[in-house]
Structure 1
């Protein structure tokens, strides 16, 4: 039955690739899922245990960290541009008294 469902999903979503089912020592069955037409990347795994199916998504920590770094760099660039355009300190003028 599980193989039939996977065949239906594969026919519906050509960009998804399902790995061979792997059975762990505790009796769980793990099926990997990757996606992408040109650059496949891991999406997650299906875990079948005790008649229940759970989806565990793969998280790309590198992509999350890169997004945080780029956000910080862009904020720093805007702040630097704002300070050079109009510094936050007051205008100082030297006048000579006679």
Structure 2
């Protein structure tokens, strides 16, 4: 349910009316925006909760970091450097350098 606040008149004659959203139960009201009313027009300015946008960005970055870390740990992008692989590489290089 929308709740309109008491009108406030600024020094230049502009009227300002706050709008908030009343939640069910004992939850507090949260702002929705304001109406600015003057002789020429009426303008609606929504209230933006930037902390929610920031939280979404941080969670997205964290999820990307976790997925990237898991992908690298499961199958790293660098070659395996075990003893068996190194021995096979050395033998392949030796056989390439032999005259034919």
Confirm or deny a common fold (TM above 0.5). Answer: yes
Aligned residues: 83
Return the TM-score normalized by structure 2. Answer: 0.75
What's the CA shift for 1:93?
2.8
Q: Is residue 52 of structure 1 aligned with residue 41 of structure 2?
A: yes
Q: Is residue 68 of structure 1 aligned with residue 54 of structure 2?
A: no
Structure 1 residues not aligned, in runs of 5+: 1-14
What's the CA shift for 1:60?
1.1
What's the CA shift for 1:36?
4.2
Q: Is residue 16 of structure 1 aligned with residue 6 of structure 2?
A: no
- The root-mean-square deviation of aligned C-alpha atoms, in Å, is 1.7
SS at match of 1:89: coil
Q: Is residue 86 of structure 1 aligned with residue 72 of structure 2?
A: no
Return the TM-score normalized by structure 1. Answer: 0.76
Question: Which portions of structure 1, spanning 4 or more consecutive aligned residues, are displaced by more than 3 angstroms?
Answer: none
Structure 2 residues not aligned, in runs of 5+: 91-100
